[in-house]
């Protein structure tokens, strides 16, 4: 998951030079949240007071830049005095948002989380104010009419076009009174969005299980969760939930845990109803029938019909494979339960019988497999992949300033120039009140100044199984693929090579943003790659080739069922925003049940409300379909690597320059076409799912 937020405040006026590869970037020498040129945060000095003062300083800088743009005489407007300062102020603002987004989701101190959330709402509102600033809009329009503007090409021309489009889509065509109404709507939506996410990240529900209910779980798993009274306390983090659902033999216990997991985010049902109503009012104020129509109007899909047709055709194409998949699971259920008439696999049974299928048909034991994927070794392996493909080097900072003990930090050096280009953090293990999925927080993006390139920074926030005194952190193979995916987002940030921050890195069309991460999942299935780093955590033995062959043979196990789940998520998200807004939480639950029962083979379970915990309903808002949409392009682009060599530096160089380096500085479809050297198609995507 890509969190489209930037991080690190940046002082434009201070002196400095491009960071040398010989040293790590220094932490901020002044204010911990206000690093000077290519310094990094001093997270260990962050406090509620520094959050307050840092927010005030950044707000003042944004205000001054706006004033400077407005005072230019229209007859004297140039790219240098109008468009570049516009990018500067967006750079400031997005970075201000980002630090609060990161701290709200990761810091252990409640006062810091709360203060960060408060400031996040404030800076979200500031961005809305800028989008509706008539003087700024008029300044950009005035510049657009100049001879210089009409002669622009490449990134600068795209930024000008994008800026005008964004102003107009955000309400500049409205009358003043209507713009005031839109500001109020945006403010309320931002407040509700922050609360929705907070309700998920701060949910600390734990279930008590008896010894009988823990049947099937290994002793290491049980030991970590054993309470003083001999029972077991299970939280809802993925390292707890995943193994229990796949290995736990007690069906009722799995059902109980599933229901709890599907009810994370208490109170979000009411918030979602209000959000849907406000989104509809916003869309209609802007001249659209529905929020979905508004949401997709400026990205790859272009209109609602294309999205609806895409999801419907995909669901139909996947149905036969899904039926094959469910039939295999049903045979196992019928055998184990002795009920030869069983025709349903419930969601809380899916992982259990899938794990059984994996072990019996493909002879792959996930517990054995993960012994070859110790987390720190996986990190080294992933680094090897990216370093070879993209001609960069990673070095660990052994004394970083971090927000939690155990967070690691690394520099990125471009081998061709010998210059440091980026710095990133890995926050890998679960804890209470932490963001509970896997995501890349896009930190500082690419931006060119006279003194050089702004240092790119990013943070991966994940929830991998934590190490214990007895064992290191061991990753299931699927989690290795997830790691590669999220690192793909991070490298999109690191390797962006744009002049302007507003079009750098992951600031691309939302229905394309997942492609540069999805493509990287393919490396988790390359035998040549796995033998480079998959080693047994105790013996150091390289993963046996026979085991890899079995894993690859199992790659498309349940591919139909899993892809249909994604279609369900995308359809739910799109449909909730593409109709008259629902009026009650019960209606949301009914929609969840309707789409789950119609699209997937796993029926809705009474007493659950998946929408409460589905944070993408907020972050993507009608655009979650982009996960599958992006995958079509990701697999097509991977076909180029397949034809040469998945570790080919030459192909990696082309991809780095033609896709990653371009960020969002051109239409996504053109980036894909240029890299492919042809029109895109879905052949590789269908092959990826085992459909042809």
| DSSP H or E stretch at residue 690 | none
Place of tokens 């990133």: 424
| DSSP H or E stretch at residue 396 | strand 392-397
| DSSP H or E stretch at residue 437 | none
φ, ψ (nearest 5 deg) of residue 536: -60, 135
Place of tokens 């799912």: 689
Both tokens of 352, joined, read 């259990």
- 196, 275 Cβ separation under 8 angstroms: yes
Catalytic entry in 213, 486, 499, 514: 486
314-328 burial, b if ≥16 CB within 10 A, otherwise e? bbebbeebbeebbeb
**What sign has the CA pseudo-torsion 492, 494, 499, 500?**
positive
Q: HSE (CB half, 13 Å, CA atoms) of 681? A: 8
Dist. CA 229–CA 249, nearest whole Å: 22
58: nearest Cα among 103, 5, 115, 100: 100
For 539, the 3-state DSSP assignment is: coil
576: nearest Cα among 611, 628, 613: 611
Cα angle: 226, vertex 228, 234; to 5 degrees: 35
Which three-class secondary structure string do you get for 288-303?
A: CCCHHHHHCCCCCCCC
Dist. CA 602–CA 560, nearest whole Å: 12
Task: Give the start-end residues of each E strand in 519-586.
Answer: none
- 500, 460 Cβ separation under 8 angstroms: no
Cα angle: 144, vertex 77, 134; to 5 degrees: 65
- 310, 625 Cβ separation under 8 angstroms: yes
**What sign has the CA pseudo-torsion 162, 164, 167, 173?**
negative
Dist. CA 478–CA 2, nearest whole Å: 18
* Helical ranges in 495-625 per DSSP H: 515-518, 527-533, 545-553, 559-576, 585-599, 616-619
Which three-class secondary structure string do you get for 30-73?
A: CCCCCCCCCCECCHHHCCHHHHHHHHHHHHHHHHHHHHHHHHCC
Q: Examine the residue annotation and report whether 486 is marked as an active-site residue of this protein.
A: yes
- 635, 642 Cβ separation under 8 angstroms: no
Listing DSSP states for 177-228 in one string gives HHHHHHHHHHHHHHHHHHHHHHHHHT----EEE-TGGGTT--HHHHHHHB-T
The end-to-end CA distance of the chain, in Å, is 28
Active-site residue set: 486
């Amino acid at each position: 998951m890509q969190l489209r937020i930037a991080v690190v405040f940046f002082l434009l006026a201070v002196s400095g030079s491009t960071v040398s590869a010989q040293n790590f970037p220094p932490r901020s020498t002044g204010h911990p949240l206000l690093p000077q040129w290519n310094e990094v945060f001093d997270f260990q000095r962050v406090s509620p007071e520094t959050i307050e003062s840092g927010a005030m300083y950044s707000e003042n800088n944004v205000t001054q830049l706006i004033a400077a743009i407005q005072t230019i005489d229209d007859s004297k407007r140039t790219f240098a005095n109008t468009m570049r300062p516009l990018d500067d102020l967006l750079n400031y603002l997005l970075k201000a948002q980002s630090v609060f987004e990161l701290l709200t989701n990761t810091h252990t101190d409640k006062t810091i989380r709360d203060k960060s959330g408060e400031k996040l709402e404030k800076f979200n509102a500031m961005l809305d104010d800028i989008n509706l600033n008539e003087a700024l809009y008029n300044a950009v329009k005035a510049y657009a009419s100049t001879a210089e503007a009409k002669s622009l090409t490449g990134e600068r021309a795209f930024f000008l076009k994008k800026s005008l489009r964004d102003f107009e889509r955000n309400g500049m065509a409205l009358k003043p009174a209507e713009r005031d109404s839109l500001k109020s709507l945006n403010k309320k939506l931002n407040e509700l969005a922050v609360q929705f996410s907070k309700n998920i990240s701060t949910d600390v529900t734990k279930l008590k299980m008896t010894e009988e209910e823990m049947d099937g779980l290994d002793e290491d798993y049980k030991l970590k969760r054993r309470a003083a009274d001999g029972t077991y306390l299970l939280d809802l983090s993925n390292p707890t939930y995943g193994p229990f659902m796949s290995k736990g033999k007690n069906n009722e216990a799995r059902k109980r845990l599933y229901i709890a997991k599907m009810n994370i985010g208490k109170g979000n049902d009411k918030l979602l109803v209000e959000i849907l109503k406000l989104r509809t009012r916003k869309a209609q104020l802007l001249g659209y029938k529905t929020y979905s129509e508004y949401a997709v109007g400026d990205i790859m899909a272009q209109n609602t019909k294309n999205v609806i047709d895409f999801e419907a055709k995909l669901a139909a194409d996947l149905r036969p494979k899904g039926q094959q998949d469910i039939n295999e699971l049903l045979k196992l259920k019928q055998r184990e339960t002795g009920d030869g008439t069983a025709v349903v696999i419930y969601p809380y049974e899916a992982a259990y019988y899938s794990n059984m299928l994996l072990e019996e048909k493909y002879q792959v034991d996930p517990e054995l497999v993960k012994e070859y994927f110790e987390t720190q070794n996986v990190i080294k392996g992933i680094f090897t992949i990216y370093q070879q493909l993209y001609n960069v080097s990673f070095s660990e900072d052994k004394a970083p300033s971090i927000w939690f003990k155990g967070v690691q930090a690394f520099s990125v050096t471009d081998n061709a120039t010998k210059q440091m280009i980026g710095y990133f953090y890995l926050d890998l293990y679960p804890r209470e009140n932490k963001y509970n999925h896997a995501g890349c927080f896009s930190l500082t993006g690419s931006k060119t100044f006279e003194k050089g390139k702004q240092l790119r920074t990013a943070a991966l926030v994940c929830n991998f199984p934590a190490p214990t005194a007895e064992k290191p952190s061991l990753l299931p193979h699927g989690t290795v693929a997830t790691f590669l995916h999220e690192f793909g987002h991070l490298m999109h940030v690191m390797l962006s090579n744009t002049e302007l921050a507003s079009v750098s890195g992951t600031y691309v069309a939302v229905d394309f943003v997942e492609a540069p991460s999805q493509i990287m999942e393919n490396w988790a299935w390359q035998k040549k790659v796995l033998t480079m780093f998959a080693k047994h955590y105790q013996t150091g033995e390289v993963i046996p080739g026979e085991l890899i062959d079995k894993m690859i043979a199992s790659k498309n196990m349940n591919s139909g069922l899993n892809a249909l789940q994604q279609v369900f998520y995308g359809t739910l998200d799109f449909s909730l925003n593409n109709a008259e807004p629902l009026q009650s939480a019960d209606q949301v639950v009914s929609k969840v049940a309707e789409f789950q029962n119609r699209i997937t083979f796993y029926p809705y379970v009474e007493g659950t409300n998946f929408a409460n915990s589905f944070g993408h309903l907020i972050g993507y808002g009608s655009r979650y379909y982009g996960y599958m949409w992006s995958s079509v392009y990701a697999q097509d682009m991977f076909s180029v690597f397949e034809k040469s060599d998945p570790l080919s530096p030459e192909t990696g160089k082309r991809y780095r320059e033609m896709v990653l380096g371009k960020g969002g500085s051109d239409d996504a479809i053109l980036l894909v076409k240029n890299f492919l050297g042809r029109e895109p198609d879905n052949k590789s995507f269908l092959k990826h799912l085992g459909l042809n």
